[in-house]
């Protein structure tokens, strides 16, 4: 479970009985979670979903469009990524998370894209194994 995960118990009419973490209107105008309120499904993820079919050139272009810390740019460019996953990828590629995208050299981009592809391939294997 991720940092913002929650456990919500509802009754048969979809009214929230309790939640591990209540979220007030001040905390989230998108989806408050309060006892006694109707349960609403989470909003759909916006942003691009990682894909193995994306070329290194397109991937690099997307991530580096606006210069910034590589970890932050990856998080902003793709949905469904965790900060911990990116930290591991960057560590394996020997790139500091705060390294600016405009200072990465072609070898850095290649190493990071290889880790990205390995993660994508492993994710697909896990999905197939669970079917």
Secondary structure of the chain in the HEC alphabet?
Answer: CCCCCCCEEECCCCEEEEECCCECCCCCCCCCECCCCECCCCCCCCCECCCCCCCHHHHHHHHHCCCCEHHHHHHHHECCCCHHHHHHHHHHCCCCCCCEHHHCCHHHHHHHHHHHHHHHHHHHHHHHHCC
CATH of the domain at 74: 1.10.8
Whether pTM > 0.85 for this model: the answer is no
Domain co-membership, 1 together with 37 = yes
Examine residue 51 and state whether it is found in any structural domain, yes or no.
no
pLDDT tens for each residue of 15-74: 999 999 888 888 877 788 999 999 988 877 667 888 889 999 999 999 999 999 999 999
pLDDT tens per residue, range 65-110 = 999 999 999 999 988 788 888 999 999 999 999 999 999 999 999 9
Domain range for 60 is: 56-129
101 and 38 housed in the same domain: no
Question: 98 in a domain, yes or no?
Answer: yes
Q: Is residue 89 situated within a structural domain?
A: yes
Q: Are 114 and 69 members of one domain?
A: yes
Residue 74 in domain: yes
- Shared-domain flag, residues 92 and 28: no
122 domain-assigned? yes
């Amino acid at each position: 479970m991720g940092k913002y995960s929650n456990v919500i118990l509802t009754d048969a009419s979809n009214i929230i009985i309790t939640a591990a973490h209540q979220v007030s209107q001040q905390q989230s105008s998108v989806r408050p979670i309060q006892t006694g309120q109707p349960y609403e499904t989470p909003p759909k993820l916006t942003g691009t979903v990682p894909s193995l079919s994306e070329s290194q050139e397109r991937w690099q272009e997307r991530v580096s469009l606006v210069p910034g810390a590589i970890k932050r740019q990856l998080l902003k460019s793709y949905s469904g990524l965790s900060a911990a996953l990116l930290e591991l990828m960057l560590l394996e590629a020997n790139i500091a998370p705060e390294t600016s995208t405009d200072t990465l050299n072609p070898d850095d981009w290649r190493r990071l894209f290889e880790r990205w592809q390995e993660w994508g391939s492993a994710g697909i294997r896990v999905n197939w194994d669970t079917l």
